[in-house]
């Protein structure tokens, strides 16, 4: 061990010197990576450098902010701290942080949730702080159950570690219930009366598959919950917040811990910041630091990592923040909406490995809330700027593309002399945006922006000139609270807005668990996909309506089904490794691949479909292998090597049968493929016309330049020739 450790130290020191002095790059991961190669037990060998102990911070959102703030709090109490402040949170980043210190009182170390099982057996920390669990990078992390299981496994490997967790999150509570480690819950003990987002990450009890009941909801799945069937419930917090007051100047709250009450004030806004503060208070108290030190650290907290980082450039306010999943994004939108006066917002979205290649999650964000702002202009940047522009268009927001942060500031200045600037970026987009802002001492020269680009109202609909008055469509959205895993509900948004743009009235009927769909009035039915637990619950309700669905399909009713919804159309499909009956609406069967759920077909996919002149672009992420029987045709043929589709052999995706379209394509499907959306609308209108004995009207064309540009960008990226 001694020789390996010495080699690891020397290798790490050499790598650090080379990166800083030769390559002029940050040394957040590489020294630790080299060190771990020389000594696989490096973290275990270095943990003795932490004299009083260590605290590991995990969770989907807020890890870097909480780690930095906790480190500042302990330092304010006179402690020496080692912390991976830049957010390098794999084992290599943690090893790098430990290599850099000869000794410290405490280690405050951020860790990726899926790497916790690698780190904990070596580090054996005193505490793990679990902040929250939300859907994030599903193509990398898989479903939340997988992330929870990894955290449980990690805690079981370090039984003396105490878990400090967010009791307001049922997904965190489930982790706490599954381990024998000592647990300290924290939470907010009041209903904040917040408006709820469209999509939450947990509506079902993970113990018995019943629907959770809430006394109050904060945001996402956070709140005061209980299961009416099995008794699963929120534990009462040992450390709790009361009397929380939020304003544009920040938040203040009273923290109750045992018999002590401390009033905390922070200049940072957002309810999620209140949870971050509580997590820091709980960890600091466990480390023997007075909670009052948290207040000192907060008032002096000036992050320079792009998280809630404020700039003052030419007397103008600029806020930069990270958002990498729907819940985090929605909290950023609240900050924007709570800021008075004119606002210019830029969203920078990349799709690199660290971001996740699937950007379907953009459609789980409530961008439509921004469309209500009279003095707001939006811009889209990053690798997937075209996808962002399409998403904003269907939220009623006309967004202009920008090359980078400097381009945004130049164009946004034309909006108003006192506009506030907001730049929201996902993981790999953030560093470049921050780098540009750090270099700016003055705002760039203003660029001219046309009136249509500046104001939302001018492009609230895809095209307001072509109307089909007197026509109405009823779109039935089946179980949206259960079947909306990859932004699939965006397909309904696209259908609705494209119909309304032509003057067609649209009635969206949401059928939720326990309700029966009235298909006699339906013109289009939509079925999305969901996690196994949610799909099973939805399938029980669906099977009870099999005959109604069969009559609807035989009557040429239009039906769009995505992923899990597509599988349920067939004779049988798979719930985990169990075969379960489907609706039998199409002659298809779904089987499990060799290797089970770990053998997934994941990635961007391009199809040639007879329903569209352009390539159909989407994203697949499924473990099932679907096979078509007699009477069914594929939705499209896979182009080249871009995706697999139904299975490993057929080079085709989806099914077409009568007016059914089933497919594995997320994206959502219709966003970058407007021809498919219009085909569905046309079939629905044709069916209505035939029933009424009327002639069928052709759909007037819309201005699809934004959608076509997004499609063309993906074709170029995949080297697909149109």
SS3 string, 189-228, reads CCCCCCCCCCCCCCCECCCCCCECEEEEECCCCCEEEECC
Name the CA dihedral angle for 364, 370, 371, 373, rounded to a multiple of 10 degrees: 170
Residues 6+ apart with CB under 8 A from 534: 203, 204, 479, 482, 483, 485
Q: Convert 199-221 to b/e letters by CB count within 10 Å (16 or more is b).
A: bbbbbbbbeeeebbebeebbbbb
As a whole number of angstroms, the distance between CA 668 and CA 602 comes to 15
The answer to whether residues 253 and 282 touch, using CB atoms and an 8 Å cutoff, is no
Q: Which of 217, 386, 536, 666 is catalytic?
A: 666
Tell me the C-alpha distance between 353 and 248, whole Å: 35
Taking a C-beta distance cutoff of 8 angstroms, is the pair 394, 350 a contact?
no
Q: Considering only CA atoms, which of 512, 535, 561 is closest in space to residue 661?
A: 561
Q: Please list, residue by residue across 451-490, b when 16 or more beta carbons sit within 10 angstroms of its beta carbon and e when fewer do.
A: eebbbbeebbbbeeeeebeebebbbbbbbbbbbbbbbbbb
Q: Edge-to-edge strand order for the sheet containing 309-313?
A: 309-313, 316-322, 420-425, 343-348, 376-381, 399-401
Q: Pick the catalytic residue: 286, 563, 632, 715?
A: 563
d(CA 91, CA 664): 35
C-alpha–C-alpha distance, residues 337 and 348, integer Å: 18
Instruction: Yes or no: say if 343 and 419 are a contact pair by the CB < 8 Å rule.
Output: yes
End-to-end CA distance of the chain: 59
Distance CA 685, CA 674 (A): 16
Tally Cβ neighbours within 10 Å of residue 331. Answer: 21
Q: Could you tell me which of 198, 202, 223, 228 has the C-alpha nearest to residue 213?
A: 228
Q: How many C-beta neighbours within 10 Å does residue 709 have?
A: 16
Name the DSSP letter for residue 666.
B
Residue 563 falls in the annotated catalytic set: yes
Assigned token pair, 365 = 């964000």
Q: What amino acid positions are annotated as catalytic residues?
A: 563, 666
């Amino acid at each position: 061990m001694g020789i390996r450790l010495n080699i690891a130290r020397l290798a790490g020191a050499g790598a650090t010197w080379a990166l800083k002095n030769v390559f002029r790059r940050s040394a957040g991961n590489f020294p630790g990576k080299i060190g771990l190669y020389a000594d696989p037990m490096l973290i275990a060998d270095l943990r003795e450098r932490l004299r009083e102990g260590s605290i590991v911070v995990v969770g989907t959102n807020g890890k870097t902010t909480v780690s930095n703030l906790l480190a500042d709090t302990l330092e304010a109490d006179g402690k020496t701290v080692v912390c991976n402040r830049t957010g390098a949170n794999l084992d290599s980043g943690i090893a790098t942080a430990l290599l850099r210190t000869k000794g410290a009182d405490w280690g405050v170390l951020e860790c990726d949730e899926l790497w916790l099982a690698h780190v904990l057996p070596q580090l054996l920390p005193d505490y793990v702080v679990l902040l929250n669990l939300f859907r994030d990078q599903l193509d990398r992390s898989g479903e939340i159950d997988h992330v929870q299981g990894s955290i449980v496994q990690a805690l079981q490997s370090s039984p003396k570690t105490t878990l400090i967790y967010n009791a307001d999150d049922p997904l965190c509570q489930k982790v706490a219930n599954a381990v024998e480690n000592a647990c300290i819950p924290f939470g907010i003990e009041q209903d904040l009366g917040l408006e709820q987002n469209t999509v939450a990450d947990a509506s079902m009890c993970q113990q018995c598959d019943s629907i959770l009941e809430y006394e109050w909801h904060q945001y996402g799945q956070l709140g005061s919950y209980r299961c009416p069937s099995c008794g699963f419930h929120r534990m009462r917090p040992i450390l709790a917040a009361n009397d929380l007051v939020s304003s544009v100047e920040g938040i203040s709250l009273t923290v109750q811990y045992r018999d002590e009450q401390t009033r905390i004030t922070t200049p940072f806004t957002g309810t999620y910041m209140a949870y971050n503060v509580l997590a820091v208070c709980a960890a600091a108290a466990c480390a023997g630091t007075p909670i009052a030190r948290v207040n000192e650290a907060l008032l002096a907290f000036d992050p320079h990592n792009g998280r809630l980082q404020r700039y003052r450039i030419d007397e103008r306010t600029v806020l930069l923040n990270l958002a990498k999943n729907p819940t985090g994004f929605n909290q950023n939108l609240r900050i924007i909406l709570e800021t008075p006066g004119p606002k210019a917002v830029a969203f920078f979205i990349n799709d690199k490995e660290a971001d996740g290649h699937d950007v379907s999650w953009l459609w789980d964000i409530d961008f439509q809330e921004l469309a209500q702002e009279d003095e707001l202009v939006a811009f889209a940047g990053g690798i997937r700027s075209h996808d962002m522009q399409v998403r904003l268009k269907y939220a009623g927001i006309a967004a202009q593309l920008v090359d980078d942060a400097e381009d945004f500031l130049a164009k946004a200045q034309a909006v108003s002399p006192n506009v506030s600037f907001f730049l929201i970026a996902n993981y790999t987009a953030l560093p470049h945006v921050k780098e540009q802002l750090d270099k700016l001492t003055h705002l760039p020269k203003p660029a001219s922006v046309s009136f249509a680009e500046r104001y939302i109202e001018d492009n609230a609909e895809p095209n307001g000139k072509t109307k089909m008055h007197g026509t109405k469509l009823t779109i039935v959205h089946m179980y949206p609270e259960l079947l909306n895993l990859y932004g699939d509900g965006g397909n309904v948004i696209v259908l609705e807005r494209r119909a309304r743009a032509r003057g067609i009235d649209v009635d969206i009927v949401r059928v939720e668990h326990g309700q029966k769909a009235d298909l006699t009035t339906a013109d289009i039915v939509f079925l999305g996909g969901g996690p196994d637990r949610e799909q099973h619950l939805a399938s029980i309700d669906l099977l009870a309506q099999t005959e109604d669905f069969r009559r609807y399909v035989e009557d040429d009713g239009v039906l769009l089904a995505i992923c899990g919804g597509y599988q349920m159309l067939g004779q049988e499909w798979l719930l985990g490794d169990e075969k379960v009956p489907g609706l039998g609406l199409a002659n298809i069967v779904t089987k499990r691949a060799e290797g089970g759920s770990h053998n997934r077909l994941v990635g961007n996919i391009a199809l040639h479909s007879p329903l569209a002149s352009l390539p159909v672009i989407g994203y697949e992420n499924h473990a099932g292998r679907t096979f078509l029987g007699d009477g069914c045709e594929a939705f499209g043929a896979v182009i080249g090597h871009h995706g697999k589709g139904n299975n490993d052999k057929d080079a085709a995706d989806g099914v077409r049968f009568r007016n059914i379209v089933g497919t594995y394509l997320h994206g959502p499907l219709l966003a970058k493929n407007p021809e498919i959306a219009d085909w569905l609308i046309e079939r629905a209108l044709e069916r209505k016309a035939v029933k009424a004995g009327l002639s069928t009207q052709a759909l007037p064309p819309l201005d699809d330049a934004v959608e076509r540009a997004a499609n063309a960008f993906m074709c170029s990226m995949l080297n697909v020739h149109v």
